[in-house]
Structure 1
Protein backbone atom coordinates (compact mmCIF):
# COMPACT_ATOMS: atom_id res chain seq x y z
CA UNK A 1 0.00 0.00 0.00
CA UNK A 2 1.12 3.53 -0.77
CA UNK A 3 -0.82 6.24 1.05
CA UNK A 4 -0.30 9.79 2.27
CA UNK A 5 -2.28 11.35 5.10
CA UNK A 6 -1.91 15.12 4.86
CA UNK A 7 -3.50 18.50 5.48
CA UNK A 8 -3.98 20.57 2.33
CA UNK A 9 -3.37 23.87 4.17
CA UNK A 10 -0.07 22.67 5.66
CA UNK A 11 2.95 24.16 3.89
CA UNK A 12 5.22 21.47 5.32
CA UNK A 13 3.01 18.73 3.85
CA UNK A 14 3.06 20.48 0.47
CA UNK A 15 6.86 20.87 0.53
CA UNK A 16 7.45 17.23 1.44
CA UNK A 17 4.96 15.95 -1.12
CA UNK A 18 6.67 18.01 -3.85
CA UNK A 19 10.00 16.39 -2.98
CA UNK A 20 8.95 12.79 -3.66
CA UNK A 21 7.46 10.93 -6.62
CA UNK A 22 3.72 10.65 -5.94
CA UNK A 23 2.78 8.15 -8.63
CA UNK A 24 0.75 5.25 -7.25
CA UNK A 25 -0.04 6.91 -3.92
CA UNK A 26 -3.53 7.24 -2.48
CA UNK A 27 -4.15 10.57 -0.74
CA UNK A 28 -6.31 11.33 2.28
CA UNK A 29 -6.81 14.93 3.34
CA UNK A 30 -7.39 14.48 7.08
CA UNK A 31 -9.55 17.54 7.69
CA UNK A 32 -12.16 16.72 5.05
CA UNK A 33 -11.83 12.94 5.43
CA UNK A 34 -10.98 12.13 9.07
CA UNK A 35 -8.91 9.07 9.80
CA UNK A 36 -10.73 6.03 11.10
CA UNK A 37 -9.93 3.77 14.01
CA UNK A 38 -8.86 1.05 11.56
CA UNK A 39 -6.47 3.48 9.86
CA UNK A 40 -4.93 4.74 13.13
CA UNK A 41 -4.49 1.14 14.29
CA UNK A 42 -2.74 0.31 11.01
CA UNK A 43 -0.43 3.32 11.44
CA UNK A 44 0.30 2.26 15.02
CA UNK A 45 1.22 -1.26 13.88
CA UNK A 46 3.75 0.18 11.44
CA UNK A 47 5.10 2.89 13.77
CA UNK A 48 5.09 0.98 17.06
CA UNK A 49 3.01 3.43 19.09
CA UNK A 50 0.21 5.96 18.96
CA UNK A 51 2.52 8.44 20.67
CA UNK A 52 4.83 8.44 17.64
CA UNK A 53 1.85 9.65 15.57
CA UNK A 54 0.90 12.39 18.03
CA UNK A 55 1.76 16.04 17.46
CA UNK A 56 2.60 18.04 20.55
CA UNK A 57 2.77 21.11 18.30
CA UNK A 58 -1.01 21.19 17.89
CA UNK A 59 -2.46 24.38 19.35
CA UNK A 60 -5.05 22.34 21.22
CA UNK A 61 -2.28 20.47 23.04
CA UNK A 62 -1.41 23.55 25.06
CA UNK A 63 -4.96 24.92 25.12
CA UNK A 64 -6.27 21.72 26.69
CA UNK A 65 -3.45 21.67 29.25
CA UNK A 66 -2.23 18.31 27.97
CA UNK A 67 1.42 19.18 28.56
CA UNK A 68 0.66 18.89 32.28
CA UNK A 69 -0.99 15.47 31.89
CA UNK A 70 0.55 12.02 31.83
CA UNK A 71 -0.90 10.54 28.66
CA UNK A 72 -1.17 6.83 27.96
CA UNK A 73 -1.24 5.13 24.55
CA UNK A 74 -5.05 5.02 24.57
CA UNK A 75 -5.13 8.77 25.27
CA UNK A 76 -2.94 9.48 22.23
CA UNK A 77 -5.20 7.33 20.07
CA UNK A 78 -8.40 8.98 21.27
CA UNK A 79 -6.99 12.49 20.89
CA UNK A 80 -5.86 11.81 17.32
CA UNK A 81 -9.26 10.37 16.46
CA UNK A 82 -11.05 13.31 18.10
CA UNK A 83 -9.19 16.06 16.21
CA UNK A 84 -7.13 15.92 13.03
CA UNK A 85 -4.65 18.50 14.35
CA UNK A 86 -3.25 15.94 16.78
CA UNK A 87 -1.91 13.74 13.95
CA UNK A 88 1.74 14.48 13.22
CA UNK A 89 1.87 15.07 9.50
CA UNK A 90 2.34 14.11 6.86
CA UNK A 91 2.09 10.38 7.43
CA UNK A 92 3.43 8.52 4.42
CA UNK A 93 2.98 4.78 4.14
CA UNK A 94 5.04 3.05 1.49
CA UNK A 95 4.44 -0.69 1.55
CA UNK A 96 5.59 -1.75 5.06
CA UNK A 97 7.43 1.49 5.84
CA UNK A 98 5.92 4.51 7.58
CA UNK A 99 7.31 8.04 7.62
CA UNK A 100 5.80 10.39 10.19
CA UNK A 101 6.21 14.14 10.32
CA UNK A 102 8.90 16.44 9.08
CA UNK A 103 12.00 15.94 11.21
CA UNK A 104 15.28 15.72 9.31
CA UNK A 105 16.00 12.06 10.12
CA UNK A 106 12.54 11.04 8.89
CA UNK A 107 12.93 13.05 5.68
CA UNK A 108 16.34 11.50 5.01
CA UNK A 109 14.87 8.01 5.38
CA UNK A 110 11.93 8.95 3.16
CA UNK A 111 14.17 10.31 0.42
CA UNK A 112 16.44 7.27 0.66
CA UNK A 113 13.44 4.94 0.27
CA UNK A 114 12.81 6.40 -3.19
CA UNK A 115 16.46 6.01 -4.23
CA UNK A 116 16.30 2.23 -3.90
Structure 2
Protein backbone atom coordinates (compact mmCIF):
# COMPACT_ATOMS: atom_id res chain seq x y z
CA UNK A 1 0.00 0.00 0.00
CA UNK A 2 1.23 3.48 -0.90
CA UNK A 3 -0.02 6.75 0.49
CA UNK A 4 0.70 9.83 -1.64
CA UNK A 5 0.51 13.09 0.27
CA UNK A 6 2.43 15.85 1.99
CA UNK A 7 4.38 15.32 5.19
CA UNK A 8 3.02 18.65 6.46
CA UNK A 9 -0.63 17.74 5.79
CA UNK A 10 -2.60 16.92 8.95
CA UNK A 11 -5.01 14.65 7.07
CA UNK A 12 -2.13 12.71 5.53
CA UNK A 13 -0.54 12.30 8.96
CA UNK A 14 -3.82 10.95 10.39
CA UNK A 15 -4.11 8.47 7.51
CA UNK A 16 -0.50 7.37 7.90
CA UNK A 17 -0.95 6.87 11.64
CA UNK A 18 -3.92 4.59 10.93
CA UNK A 19 -2.01 2.78 8.16
CA UNK A 20 1.44 2.21 9.72
CA UNK A 21 2.43 -0.38 7.09
CA UNK A 22 1.78 2.01 4.19
CA UNK A 23 4.71 3.38 2.22
CA UNK A 24 4.54 7.19 2.38
CA UNK A 25 5.39 9.17 -0.75
CA UNK A 26 5.80 12.92 -0.25
CA UNK A 27 4.48 14.40 -3.49
CA UNK A 28 6.38 17.66 -2.98
CA UNK A 29 9.74 15.90 -2.66
CA UNK A 30 9.24 12.80 -4.80
CA UNK A 31 6.34 13.65 -7.09
CA UNK A 32 3.73 11.17 -8.30
CA UNK A 33 4.61 8.73 -11.11
CA UNK A 34 2.82 9.62 -14.36
CA UNK A 35 1.13 6.21 -14.58
CA UNK A 36 -0.27 6.57 -11.05
CA UNK A 37 -1.58 10.05 -11.88
CA UNK A 38 -3.17 8.74 -15.08
CA UNK A 39 -4.89 5.87 -13.22
CA UNK A 40 -6.07 8.21 -10.46
CA UNK A 41 -7.41 10.72 -12.99
CA UNK A 42 -9.22 7.94 -14.87
CA UNK A 43 -10.80 6.87 -11.56
CA UNK A 44 -11.55 10.26 -9.95
CA UNK A 45 -11.59 12.75 -12.83
CA UNK A 46 -11.45 16.44 -11.97
CA UNK A 47 -12.06 15.72 -8.27
CA UNK A 48 -8.36 14.80 -8.16
CA UNK A 49 -7.58 18.54 -8.38
CA UNK A 50 -7.75 20.45 -5.11
CA UNK A 51 -9.21 23.76 -6.25
CA UNK A 52 -9.30 25.06 -2.65
CA UNK A 53 -5.53 24.91 -2.20
CA UNK A 54 -3.13 27.81 -1.87
CA UNK A 55 -1.32 26.56 -4.98
CA UNK A 56 -4.55 26.73 -7.02
CA UNK A 57 -5.33 30.25 -5.82
CA UNK A 58 -1.85 31.31 -6.92
CA UNK A 59 -2.40 30.19 -10.52
CA UNK A 60 -3.58 32.62 -13.18
CA UNK A 61 -6.55 31.89 -15.44
CA UNK A 62 -4.34 30.58 -18.25
CA UNK A 63 -2.66 28.07 -15.91
CA UNK A 64 -6.00 26.94 -14.47
CA UNK A 65 -7.29 26.27 -18.00
CA UNK A 66 -4.54 23.70 -18.68
CA UNK A 67 -5.41 19.98 -18.66
CA UNK A 68 -5.60 18.57 -15.14
CA UNK A 69 -2.87 15.94 -15.68
CA UNK A 70 -0.45 18.60 -16.95
CA UNK A 71 -1.18 20.79 -13.92
CA UNK A 72 -0.69 17.87 -11.54
CA UNK A 73 2.58 16.92 -13.20
CA UNK A 74 3.89 20.50 -12.80
CA UNK A 75 2.30 21.15 -9.39
CA UNK A 76 1.87 17.85 -7.48
CA UNK A 77 0.63 19.75 -4.42
CA UNK A 78 -2.58 20.47 -6.38
CA UNK A 79 -3.63 16.85 -5.85
CA UNK A 80 -6.29 16.17 -3.25
CA UNK A 81 -4.77 14.20 -0.43
CA UNK A 82 -4.15 11.58 0.51
CA UNK A 83 -4.21 9.38 -2.57
CA UNK A 84 -4.02 5.80 -1.37
CA UNK A 85 -3.01 3.01 -3.72
CA UNK A 86 -3.78 -0.47 -2.41
CA UNK A 87 -3.09 -3.00 -5.14
CA UNK A 88 -5.56 -2.29 -7.95
CA UNK A 89 -7.74 -0.12 -5.70
CA UNK A 90 -7.35 3.63 -5.26
CA UNK A 91 -8.88 5.91 -2.66
CA UNK A 92 -8.93 9.70 -2.54
CA UNK A 93 -9.16 11.57 0.73
CA UNK A 94 -9.39 10.27 4.28
CA UNK A 95 -13.16 10.01 4.42
CA UNK A 96 -15.24 7.61 6.52
CA UNK A 97 -15.90 5.66 3.30
CA UNK A 98 -12.19 5.31 2.60
CA UNK A 99 -11.52 4.25 6.18
CA UNK A 100 -14.32 1.64 6.06
CA UNK A 101 -13.05 0.28 2.74
CA UNK A 102 -9.58 -0.13 4.27
CA UNK A 103 -10.94 -1.78 7.42
CA UNK A 104 -10.20 1.17 9.74
CA UNK A 105 -12.82 1.67 12.44
TM-score range, shorter chain: 0.7 to 0.9
- 1: CA distance, partners of 2:80 / 2:44: 14
State yes or no: 1:79 paired with 2:71. yes
- 1: CA distance, partners of 2:51 / 2:2: 23
The partner residue of 2:87 within 86, 95, 111 is 95
How many residues align? The count is: 102
TM-score by length of 1: 0.73
SS in 1 for 2:30: coil
User: How far apart are 1:9 and its partner, in Å?
Assistant: 1.0
- 1: CA distance, partners of 2:33 / 2:103: 31
Gaps of 5+ in 2: none
CA RMSD of aligned residues (A): 2.2
State yes or no: 1:52 paired with 2:47. yes
- 1: CA distance, partners of 2:55 / 2:7: 19
TM-score by length of 2: 0.79
- 2: CA distance, partners of 1:111 / 1:79: 28
